[in-house]
Amino acid sequence: MDNIILHKFNIPFKGVKKKVIYHFSDTHLTEYDSLSDEAEKERAIKQTAAWENVRSGFASAYNEPYEEAQKISGKEHFENLIALSSKGDALVMAGDILDYVSGANLRIAEKGFASLECPFVAVCGNHEKPETIPAEGFVSALGKDIQTVEFDDLVIIGFDNSKRIITEKQLNALSDTFKKQKAVVIAFHIPIMTEGNRDALIKAGAYFQLNYDGCPEENIKFIELIKENASLVAAVLAGHLHFNNISEITEGVTQYVSSQGVTGNINEYTIGE
């Protein structure tokens, strides 16, 4: 697939049988189809045109590829990323798969999710309002505040932090996951600000940070819980930034932020030994 920009990472982790996990975010589907009414079609055309400038602007600002291969539609990129991800052991979709909730965008996402041949976590992004996501079907994952994929030796747990808050329920879920004493991959949309990404996130503002000034106490407790259980954390996966960013939350715990899926970016992690 020439349109895919694949970033590979090897994460040795004792006690985990080798697994391949894919991770993408921010495909920002802006589509219409044969079932769309005129208003939905007009909105899709307008938003698609707007994203031509946005996605190229992010790529230019962060010195990432934006050639002819990246200029195909968001729908085509989404379908390519789904097809590649099916070859892995699991997939994390870290939010903003849809640019907005509409009939056509939901139908395209549902078809893609249903086609996956591996388990997946699909967390909500700030563009997807969880209260507007259907309660049934594969796409219903986007409306859940906690999701898990569990193997014998590894747990992937995803959280909806799209409103830049962590709830007590989510804190308890993470704590209970650590009690299993398995390796853990933690996924959400809005990244944690660290010394390794502070300059970029501070410039962007609180909109791009989970641990912003004045954030709820639960947000800080969530990060401290990760630090306290660093030996169990294989990776922290996020999206939202629209550029690749790798930073250390604490010693031995790395946060990987995927670049924009709307230009074909995807991360591949080989975890284990």
The pair of structure tokens assigned to 238 is: 């996020």
Q: What integer pLDDT is reported at residue 168 of this predicted model?
A: 97
Q: What integer pLDDT is reported at residue 23 of this predicted model?
A: 98
- The number of domains in the chain is 1
Q: What integer pLDDT is reported at residue 215 of this predicted model?
A: 95
Residues of the chain with pLDDT under 70: none
| 270 sits in which H/E element | strand 265-271
Q: What integer pLDDT is reported at residue 113 of this predicted model?
A: 97
Question: pTM of the prediction?
Answer: 0.96
69 contact partners, CB below 8 Å, separation of at least 6: 2, 3, 264
CATH number for 249: 3.60.21.10
Pairing, β 5-11 against β 19-24? unpaired
The pair of structure tokens assigned to 31 is: 């589509």
Residue 236 bridge partners (DSSP):
186, 255
> Which residue has 């395209």 as its token pair?
108
Q: What integer pLDDT is reported at residue 153 of this predicted model?
A: 97
Tens of pLDDT, residues 180-239: 999 999 999 999 999 888 988 888 888 999 999 999 999 999 999 999 999 999 999 999
DSSP designation for 128 = S
Q: What integer pLDDT is reported at residue 129 of this predicted model?
A: 87
Tell the burial category of 181 from Cβ atoms under 10 Å away from its Cβ (0-12, 13-18, 19+): exposed
Rounded CA separation 131/113 (Å): 19
Rounded CA separation 119/151 (Å): 10
Rounded CA separation 112/142 (Å): 13
Q: Show the domain range for 220.
A: 5-271
Question: What DSSP string describes 183-249?
Answer: EEEEE-SSPPP-TTTHHHHHHH-GGG-SS-TT--HHHHHHHHHHHHTGGGEEEEEE-SSSS-EEEEE
